[in-house]
Amino acid sequence: MQGIIEAIEVPYKWALMVREPMAHWSRGRVTLLGDACHPTLPDLAQGACMAIEDAFVLARCLAACGSDHAAAFARYEAARMPRTRRIVDGSAAAKTRFHDRRLGDDEAADRYIAAEWTPERIEQRYHWLFQYDATAVEI
């Protein structure tokens, strides 16, 4: 294992990268969902959730539009893009919060946790994330 690491020209500690959400997910008779169109850092733990939500909303749109896949894809994108963008942006912001170099010692980390991770602060920060209902989103 050490030999593999030594063979790396420039080693990076963090290979996960923030990607801007795509402007469109569909072209012709093909559309994307999940990480294929809105990859996110793992800091909000929503990657698989978004793929499942995408699939559910896409299925609803296809059922509503029948054979008009272009209309279904347009509805799907319109219904999902605001939420997925917010999650992608939120996970990027969480990266800063969770990997803050100023929290490198125990005392700083304890102060941060005491201030930022109260039940009230968690509710304020993440309620929007967990209240989403893919069965009820307007398509």
DSSP lists the bridge partners of residue 31 as 26
pLDDT, tens digit, for every residue of 33-56?
999 999 998 888 898 999 999 999
CA 8 to chain centre: 30
The span from the CA of 62 to the CA of 9, in Å, is: 48
Contact predicate 57/134, CB 8 Å: yes
pLDDT, tens digit, for every residue of 1-42?
788 888 888 877 666 778 888 999 999 999 999 999 999 988
pTM, entire model? 0.80
Contact predicate 119/67, CB 8 Å: no
CA dihedral 132, 124, 89, 34 (to 10 degrees): -30
Q: Which amino acid is at 129?
A: L
